[in-house]
């Protein structure tokens, strides 16, 4: 009986395909992580709010009456 074995060529192609898919997945995941960090840093909603009352604005509003 002939023993079934995997040819070396098929084994090399399989390993290269696995490595390529692994690198592409890691690269895309890293890119998504970095882009989400950049977006959250540039988001205007993330800025702090100044709760100090500006009295000059109140004076302008009162002078309109």
43-44-49 Cα angle (round to 5): 135
Phi, psi at 55, each rounded to 5°? -75, -30
User: Which pLDDT value is given to residue 13?
Assistant: 95
Q: What is the pLDDT of residue 63?
A: 87
Query: Given this model, what pLDDT does residue 36 score?
Result: 74
Q: For the chain, how many structural domains are there in total?
A: 1
> Is 19 contained in some domain?
yes
For the chain, the maximum distance between any two Cα atoms, rounded to a whole number of angstroms, is: 104
Mean pLDDT by 10 residues, the chain (65 residues): 78 96 96 77 63 80 81
Kindly give, in sequence order, each residue whose CB lies less than 8 Å from that of residue 40, ignoring residues fewer than 6 positions away.
Answer: 46
- Domain of 13 in residue numbering reads as 8-45
Classify the C-alpha dihedral 11-15-20-24 as positive or negative.
positive
Residue 8: C-alpha distances to residues 14, 32, 52 (Å):
10, 36, 73
pTM attached to this predicted model: 0.52
59 within a domain of the structure (yes/no): no
């Amino acid at each position: 009986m002939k023993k079934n074995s995997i040819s070396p060529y098929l084994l090399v192609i399989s390993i290269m395909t696995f490595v390529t898919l692994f690198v592409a997945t890691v690269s895309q995941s890293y890119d998504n992580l970095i882009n989400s960090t950049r977006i959250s840093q540039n988001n205007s909603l993330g800025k702090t709010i100044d709760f100090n009352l500006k009295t000059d604005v109140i004076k302008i509003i009162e002078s309109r009456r």
